[in-house]
Homo-oligomer: A and B are copies of this chain.
Amino acid sequence: MIKEKYTIKDIAQMAGVSKGTVDRVLHKRGKVSKNAFEKVDKVLKEIDYKPNPIARNLKRNKTYSIHVLLPDPDNDPYWIPANEGVLEASDQFTPFGIIIRKYFYDPRNKSSFVEHSQEAIKSRPDVLLMAPIFENESQLVLKRCSETKIPVVLFNNHINCFKEQIFIGQDLKQSGRVAASLMEKIIGRNDEIAIIHINKEPHMQSKENGFIEFFTEKSDGDHIMVSKTFNSAEENIFKHEVSQFIKDNPKINAFFVTNSKAYMLVEAFQDLKKDDSSIIGYDLLKPNIKYLKQGNIKFLIHQKPKRQAFLSVNYLAEHFLFGKPLPAQEFLPIDIITTENAHYYL
């Protein structure tokens, strides 16, 4: 059946009632006789009438505030696209009465997070959208918001013990499994593998768990795995520690870097004149893309930070404006990036 567009006038004519009656039925307001209601209802069913939620809601004239708490892109370039995602959603929904305010914190500094989260809560938004990094401090924020009845939506990382929170991002354990499924295809049967954390944040453990789980389930091949955490704050110390690790583990030539800092490992290897290793990492940062194209990094996994941030704001805005339900959690696709498809995701 082909659906045409029917106007209120059309429906009124078909039902043999006034336009005002149709309008009252459609918007469930005012008095309508049972007889008139049934006539209109019959026509609506016949024509498979679907209300236009946007037109319906534009009449309201209310504003809603979404306050966004995220790491400062100036401190970690991973967050640049997330900030862009917030801006894009902001452009789209501001004309409809959604007010978005951002609070940047320094991801290297817990007290910066605490300070800006307090500011955000104090301004009493309709909802707080948060990318949490510090586990204990984030839990305090959640507790505070719960007390003051400010709903919280998380994106990018989970905080484990608050399972009932709404979360939009990547399934981090599954993401580790994706990395493992790639690693399995590019290494030899008995190669040794290192799982490398650079400036480890709590949620990276989930990726390691998924990675190990995948290989544990496989019976073919037998891989020795080592997990190692580095701190990159002091470049010289970082490079020295990498050098020591390579000396201690000469047989390892496959590396899974659990965050956006695979390029740092490549650079440390270049100083050591170590090559011919298989590195899998995360995120489309410029130096990562460069080393992907040069072949130093075999695969990158794309965490879609822009999409995550955009979608989070989008869901909230549509929830406020059109009453759409919020998803309990939305796991975004885990995109696999190689030299030849990278540019589509940038």
Q: Could you tell me which A residues sit within 8 Å of B by CB distance? A: 2-5, 7, 50-52, 54-55, 58, 61, 63, 91, 94-97, 99-101, 174, 177-178, 180-182, 185-186, 214, 298-299, 331-341, 344-345
For A4, A298, A344, which residue has the most chain B Cβ atoms within 10 angstroms? A344
Distance in Å: Cβ of A332 to nearest Cβ of chain B: 7
Among all A-B residue pairs, the 4 with the closest Cβ atoms: A5-B97, A333-B344, A336-B336, A181-B340
CB neighbours of A96 from chain B (8 A): 5, 52
Q: CA of A174 to CA of B340 in the docked complex: distance in angstroms?
A: 7
Copies in the complex: 2
- Asked if B185 and A95 make an inter-chain contact with CB atoms under 8 angstroms apart, the answer reads no
A–B complex contacts, Cβ < 8 Å, 8 sampled: A52-B95, A55-B55, A174-B341, A181-B340, A185-B298, A185-B299, A335-B341, A336-B338
Which residues of B are found within 8 Å of A174, using beta-carbon distances?
A: 340-341
Instruction: Decide: B52 and A58 in contact? CB cutoff 8 A.
Output: yes
A341 touches B334 (CB 8 A): yes
Contact assessment for A99 and B3 in the assembled complex, using a CB-CB cutoff below 8 Å:
yes
- Rounded to whole angstroms, the CA-CA distance of A51 and B340 in the bound complex is 40
Interfacial chain B residues near A186, Cβ < 8 Å = 185-186
Contacts of A4 in B (CB 8 A): 63, 97, 99
Residues of B within 8 A of A335 (CB): 333, 335-336, 341
Q: How far is the CA of A50 from the CA of B93 in the complex (A)?
A: 10
Asked whether, in the complex, the Cβ of B55 is within 8 Å of the Cβ of A58, the reply is yes
Q: A51-B95, A55-B55 are in contact. List 19 more A-B contacts (CB 8 A).
A: A2-B99, A2-B100, A2-B101, A4-B97, A4-B99, A5-B63, A52-B58, A52-B95, A54-B54, A54-B58, A55-B58, A180-B340, A181-B338, A182-B338, A185-B186, A331-B344, A332-B344, A333-B335, A335-B336
